[in-house]
Structure 1
Amino acid sequence: MASRKALQLGAALLIIFSFFGKIGALLASIPVALAASVLCFTWALIVALGLSTLRYTEAASSRNMIIVGFTLFISLSVPAYFQQYEPSSNLILPGYLLPYAAASSGPVRTASDGLNYAVNALLSINVVVALVVALILDNTVPGSKQERGVYIWSDPTSLETDPTCLDPYRLPKKISCWFRWAKCVGI
């Protein structure tokens, strides 16, 4: 489903529902297994959308295969290492938050307690580790524009020949008329 109107309606309903405590209590009563299944589906969708951006790259390139594979491996193993520490907090937390509470006693130890907590917390989250590793590798490992997939954005005419590139990112027509002065919005 890619309808922008459905997303706008859903967002408006969630904002309206946030003013009613009974609806919040109803949402809080959703079983953890159901919430976890929705979360799994959402994460799978995010990963699929992220990997779909690789369609402009040379997927068979050894550079790209190594970057994707290494990023996936590190983003699964480093947080698992950080999450094995026992939390030094006296807070009563639900079971699904316990791995992230381990950040209070993780392996990074400097003179600053705040820095320790921030670094340990960030390195215990898979998405953060994947982002950092992929960003570093993609920008440091040499590769051609075709391998990196940036050729599609380096030629302004190629964006107009492939209408699927920018359509999801454009503002709705009723809103974009108010932003004609901004070149990046486009109409």
Structure 2
Amino acid sequence: MLTGKVGGFLASIPEVMVAGLLCFMWAMLTALGLSNLRYSEAGSSRNVIIVGLSLFFSLSVPAYFQQYGISPNTNLSVPSYFQPYIVASHGPFHTTYGGLNYVMNTLLSLHMVIAFLVAMVLDNTVPGSQQERGVYVWSERETARREPTVAKDYELPFRVGRVFRWVKWVGL
């Protein structure tokens, strides 16, 4: 009984409002992801190249995989968020194992997966100092204690922190 009413309420929300909320949500998610770079040196050519290549490959590799999703002689129009699932069954990755084909075609057609993989591999293979990588903050306990933004990032919210005063900050 409640499910029908909630579904009716959600269906009554205008599409323009839903689109606006989705834009706001994705903007906040992107800003949160980029805020993790605040400890690293933004002007370092190493970091600029890693971020640039991650963004480039996260846009180009899924586009290559998604071209296999719909054959050109059909009039089928599919929303972009369904593309990875269509690509999964007949994408460019082919082995004798059907399950592996499905998983690899799906993962390699998702933008976030490609960006994560490229950034992780490059960040861990391209040489750079601790200051360039931004790991100097967590390398020494005293540095992490003195840095107020690190403590603020990992503390509990105000009212929750009052209830759980006995909880220590992890690692310090």
Short-chain TM bin: 0.7 to 0.9
Q: CA 1:41 to 1:29, structure 2 compared with 1: closer, same or farther past 3 Å?
A: same
Give 1:98-109 correspondences, 5 Å limit: 98-100=82-84, 101-109=86-94
Contact 1:179 1:185 (8 Å CA) reproduced: no
36 and 185 in structure 1: CA distance in 2 versus 1, 3 angstrom threshold? farther
Write out the 4+ residue segments of structure 1 that deviate beyond 6 Å after TM superposition.
Answer: none
Amino-acid identity (%): 52
Retained in 2: the 8 A contact 1:176–1:185? no
**Which runs of 5 or more structure 1 residues have no equivalent in the other structure?**
1-18
Mapping for residues 6-155 of structure 1, pairs under 5 Å? 20-86=3-69, 95-100=79-84, 101-155=86-140
Where does residue 155 of structure 2 map in the other structure?
170
Inter-partner Cα distance in structure 1 for 2:163 and 2:33: 27
In structure 2, the gaps of 5 or more residues are none
TM-score computed with the length of structure 1 as normaliser: 0.75
Q: What CA distance in whole angstroms lies between the structure 1 residues aligned with 2:79 and 2:19?
A: 12
User: Is 1:184 the equivalent of 2:170?
Assistant: yes
- Taking structure 2 as the reference length, what is the TM-score of the superposition? 0.81
Residues 97 and 140 of structure 1: CA distance in aligned 2, closer, same or farther (over 3 Å)? same
Per the TM alignment, residue 134 of structure 1 is displaced from its structure 2 partner at its CA by 0.5
The structure showing larger relative contact order (alpha-carbon pairs under 8 Å, at least 6 residues apart) is: 2
Partner of 1:184, secondary structure, is coil
Deviation at 1:30, TM superposition (A): 3.5
